[in-house]
Amino acid sequence: MPSHTQQPKKILVLGPSWVGDMVLAQSLLKTLKQKNPDCQIDVAAPAWTLPLLARMPEVSEAIALPFKHGQLAFWERVKFGRELRQHAYHQAIILTNSYKSAILPFFANIPQRTSFLGEMRYGLINDIRKLDKKTLPRTVDRFVSLGLEIGSALPKEISNPNLVADKKNATATLKKLSLNKTKNKILGLCPGAEYGEAKRWPSEYYAEVANAALKKGWDVWLFGSEKDIPVTEAINQLTQHQCIDLGGKTKLGEAIDLMSLCDTVISNDSGLMHVAAALNKKLIAIYGSSDPHHTPPMSTKAIVEYLSLSCSPCFKRECPLGHLDCLKKI
């Protein structure tokens, strides 16, 4: 009989700080599981990402990092790293390029620390991968490549992220918001974008789409964070308040579970766009200042709207030319 004494490989993934990137990181987790089905994958990431990680079956344990965004907190990272030594991880995969993100796995005594070099991290990273942007054009390609042996080619087909929604939580959230789910089809609109207005399709265009859907007997739900409240309110006003405005009313986990009830989603290039793709929804993804070749929605059901103007992608928060044609002409 074969020996079962060998411990399954324990991997710690240091996750990114953006919703969209964290969704894309699931493709890496799936790749690791395909290579080694028995491996244990823990993910350390900012606390707000935990609802996302809870909906990824590949994650054994989600570890909330207590550091503020952008904060070096050197000694706190050293202390936290030392506390993680008891887990006896075999490998750390660091998905961010900052110096500070590599401190923790080093002090956790993790023998193999895999990442791109990033901010001069010699020593902190001992399994340094070369970032060739031509062979790894997309964020998801870069993440997945870190889960392969050095020099290995990317798989022909990268597994798409696939979030598992919590149906009970969706029902509880509807009840909490005093909403009844009708038998109507539901159109989800995600008109916000954390990065800035150069990624936001105009609210009057969203309102036009909402009014057309309402006329056809659909329900329209507006998704967004607290920062998006002015945009969701403006759209709802232009529809005579016929939409369900969820702007600022849901936590991330609740938004994911409610979005799982939608039939179609229209979204700017944002974290929620990647969530909709990972829920396998019919999706129209609208790109302005960003590049759909770099961070496309990972879904066969997604349609990308992008004009590829000579001035885009500029990756700016606001249109440097003042016309926002890349979005207004869609």
Name residue 53's amino acid.
L
Question: What are 159-172's pLDDT values in tens digits?
Answer: 999 999 999 999 99
pTM: 0.94
Residue 104, both tokens: 């923790």
Residue 256, both tokens: 């994911």
What SS3 state is found at 325?
helix
Distance CA 228, CA 46 (A): 21
Percent residues over pLDDT 70 in the chain: 98
Q: Which residues have CB under 8 Å from 30's CB, separation 6+?
A: 58, 159, 161, 162
250 contacts 226 by C-beta, under 8 angstroms: no
Listed in sequence order, the DSSP H helices in the chain are: 19-35, 50-53, 74-83, 103-107, 139-145, 167-176, 203-215, 229-237, 252-259, 271-278, 325-328
Question: What are 211-227's pLDDT values in tens digits?
Answer: 999 999 999 999 999 99
The number of angstroms, rounded, from the C-alpha of 43 to the middle of its chain's C-alpha atoms is 14
Residue 167, both tokens: 């149906």
As a whole number, the mean pLDDT across the chain is 94
Q: Which region holds residue 315: left if phi is over 0, alpha if psi is between -120 and 50, else beta?
A: left
Strand-pairing partners, residue 127, are 114
DSSP state of 67: P
Tell which residue, 120, 73, 71, 88, has the closest CA to residue 12. Answer: 88
Question: What are 182-217's pLDDT values in tens digits?
Answer: 899 999 999 987 777 888 999 999 999 999 999 999
Burial class of residue 71, CB neighbours in 10 A (0-12, 13-18, 19+): exposed
DSSP state of 311: T
Distance CA 330, CA 318 (A): 17
Q: Tell me, what's the pLDDT at 197?
A: 83
The number of angstroms, rounded, from the C-alpha of 187 to the middle of its chain's C-alpha atoms is 21
Question: What are 299-325's pLDDT values in tens digits?
Answer: 999 999 999 999 999 999 999 999 999
Of 196 and 58, the structure prediction assigns the larger pLDDT to 58
29 contacts 56 by C-beta, under 8 angstroms: yes
Q: Tell me, what's the pLDDT at 180?
A: 87
Residue 6 banded pLDDT, cuts 50, 70, 90? low
Residue 4 clears pLDDT 60, i.e. is over it:
no
Mean local confidence (pLDDT), 57-82 = 94
Tell which residue, 98, 265, 292, has the closest CA to residue 246. Answer: 265
Question: What are 109-150's pLDDT values in tens digits?
Answer: 999 999 999 888 999 999 999 999 999 999 999 999 999 999
Q: Tell me, what's the pLDDT at 241?
A: 98
| Of 5-9, 70-74, 84-88, 178-182, the least confident | 5-9
Question: What is the DSSP annotation of 71-88?
Answer: ---HHHHHHHHHHGGGG-
Residue 2 clears pLDDT 90, i.e. is over it:
no
Q: Tell me, what's the pLDDT at 57?
A: 98
